[in-house]
Amino acid sequence: MDSVAGKPARERAQLFETSAGQHAPRIDAVIIEKDFWVCWALHRLFDVLQFRPQLIFKGGTSLSKVFNAIERFSEDVDLSLSRRDLGFTNERDPEQANISKQEAKRRIEALVAACQQSVRDKLLPELRQDFATVLGNAGWSLEIDADDPQTLIFAYPRSGLADSAPYIRPAIRLEMGARSDDWPSVDAEIKPYAAEDFPAMFSQPTCRARTLTAERTFWEKATLLHAEYHRPPDKPANERISRHYYDLHCLARNEIAQRALGRADLLERVVQHKRCFFSRAWANYHTATPGTFKLVPPEARIETLRKDYDAMKQMIFGDAPAWDDIMAEIRRIEDRINKR
């Protein structure tokens, strides 16, 4: 991948445009470009800098790039730092048995602060130095997000393609954190779309990353939607929340869902973890269990979610499923969970 990253902007643009012209399903060149830089950043993190023991790759981008389970372009790279490597085990572990909620909260706050410090003092300078060995010192930047000290913004070298596609920002969010769980995981291969179409152009067309399993991500998304069902009317949902319904709809039509449904231990682990690290009284995680699981959103929120979905359709490859079809699949998977 480094050989492509170091090419002149015009040559990169030509590669991405040619790849877009023959890729199936059809993908815009600007997405082919951003996908390349997502994979390149993962390559530098996991293959070159050897952060594999400390980091895990997860979220929607992993469902797309590793498991081919969704046909949605996910612009952000969702990563998690190991709590163990940050020193939060035993008497510092927020999940330690028989500690009060107040003590767990104090430990979580300390964990977040330690993560922010690690991103600022270790990851940022090491990545800057490493990226410069391939990209030089001009035409790109790597900065801490002003709104989230755990996130790095990689403004990758521009080829001019993004100038005609304002809906794609020429920057990648490397979203770190340390509250997530890293079990179970697999060592997985990741390949840019351009390398699928033109492997001969790449001296190293793939990278490997320690990745949260798709079955775990299924339950992460399902419990998120369970919490969304219980969200109070006076607490507006985040933008682009509809993507999680789309993702779960895709997983439900995949053998991933069948495997996940057979893992009651995974569901229990996810619920226990969220009740500790992402506690909200209104989320009702204690009812995220077969018989009382909720996925279908309340009727009052359907139209808002439909509009949110319409706004993100351009990130779906090929023909995007109709919102009503997504809801029908969500109802079916909710029934399957509750009948187990």
Q: Are residues 229 and 272 in the same domain?
A: yes
Query: What tens digit of pLDDT does each residue of 20-72 get?
Result: 999 888 899 999 999 999 999 999 999 999 887 899 999 999 999 999 999 99
pLDDT in tens, 129-159: 999 999 999 999 999 999 999 999 999 999 9
Residues 238 and 208 placed together within one structural domain of the fold: no
Domain end, chosen from 212, 233, 256, is at 212
Quick one: 71 and 176 in the same domain? yes
Contact 226, 294 (CB under 8 A): yes
Query: How confident is the model at residue 53, as a pLDDT?
Result: 83
| Domain identity same for 163 and 206 | yes
User: Tokens in use for 174?
Assistant: 């490397």
Contact (CB, 8 A) for 38 and 60: no
Output the pLDDT for position 33.
96
Is the Cα dihedral 205, 208, 209, 213 positive or negative?
Answer: positive
Give residue 102's pLDDT. Answer: 97
pLDDT at res. 288: 98
Q: What is residue 30's predicted lDDT score, i.e. its pLDDT?
A: 93
Same domain, 206 and 249: no
The pTM (predicted TM-score) of the whole model is 0.95
Q: What is the pairing mode between strands 77-81 and 172-175?
A: parallel
Tokens of 263: 């893992």
Task: Give me the mean pLDDT over the 174-200 stretch.
Answer: 96
pLDDT at 340: 82
Whether 165 shows a pLDDT value over 80: the answer reads no
Kindly state whether residues 223 and 325 are assigned to the same domain. Answer: yes
Give which of 116, 69, 140 is closest to 317, Cα–Cα. 69
One-letter identity of residue 55: L
Residue 266: pLDDT band (50, 70, 90) is very high
What confidence tens digit (pLDDT) does each residue in 229-264 have?
A: 999 999 988 889 999 999 999 999 999 999 999 999
Query: Which tokens belong to 63?
Result: 């469902």
Averaged pLDDT of the chain: 95
pLDDT tens string 316-333: 998 999 999 999 999 999
Q: What is the pLDDT of residues 290-300, one digit of tens each?
A: 999 999 999 99
Give backbone dihedrals phi and psi of 177, rounded to 5 degrees, phi first: 170, 170
185-198 burial code (b ≥16 CB/10 A, e <16) = beebebbbbbbebb
Q: Nearest CA to 54 among 147, 212, 182?
A: 182
Please, which residues have CB within 8 angstroms of residue 315's CB and are 6 or more apart in sequence?
Answer: 72, 73, 74, 75, 243
Q: Domain tally for the chain?
A: 2
* Residue, of 11 and 74, whose pLDDT is higher: 11
Single out the residue in 212, 242, 270 at which a domain terminates.
212
Q: Give the pLDDT confidence score for residue 199 in this predicted structure.
A: 95
Q: What is the pLDDT of residue 74?
A: 86
Domain boundary at 195, 212, 229, which?
212
310, two tokens:
């319409």
What is the per-residue pLDDT for 16?
A: 97
The answer on 207 and 70 residing in a single domain is yes
Does residue 184 sit in the same domain as residue 201?
Answer: yes
Contact yes or no for 162/195 (Cβ under 8 A): no
The whole-angstrom separation of Cα 92 and Cα 111 is 9
Structural domain range at position 208:
2-212
Do 4 and 201 touch, CB atoms closer than 8 A? yes
- In this structure, what is the dihedral angle of CA atoms 117, 237, 261, 95, given to the nearest 10 degrees? 40
Query: Is residue 163 domain-shared with residue 285, that is, in the same domain?
Result: no
Does residue 186 sit in the same domain as residue 137? yes
Based on the domain organization, do 245 and 168 belong to the same domain?
A: no
Could you tell me which residues come within 8 angstroms of residue 316 by beta carbon, excluding any fewer than 6 positions away? 71, 72, 73, 246
CA distance 190 to 209: 7
Reading phi first (left if > 0) and then psi (alpha if -120 to 50, else beta), residue 158 is in beta
pLDDT at 167: 74
Do 140 and 237 lie in a common domain? no
Rounded CA gap, 99 and 93, in Å? 10
CA–CA gap between residue 125 and residue 147 (Å, rounded): 19
pLDDT of residue 162: 77
pLDDT at site 25:
83
User: How many Å apart are CA 44 and CA 5, to the nearest integer?
Assistant: 11
Element (H, E) at 81: strand 77-81
Token reading at 126? 């090491």
The 3 state secondary structure assigned to 128-153 is HHHHHHHHCCCCCEEEEECCEEEEEE
Beta-strand relationship, 185-190 and 207-212? antiparallel
- The pLDDT tens digits of the residues spanning 271-312 come to 999 999 999 999 999 999 999 999 999 999 999 999 999 999
- For residue 36 the two structure tokens come to 């390349």
Judged against a pLDDT cut of 80, whether residue 163 lies above it is answered with: no
pLDDT of residue 51: 84
Give the model's pLDDT for residue 26: 84
Which residue has 């010192």 as its token pair? 137
- Look up residue 134 and give its two tokens: 């391939």
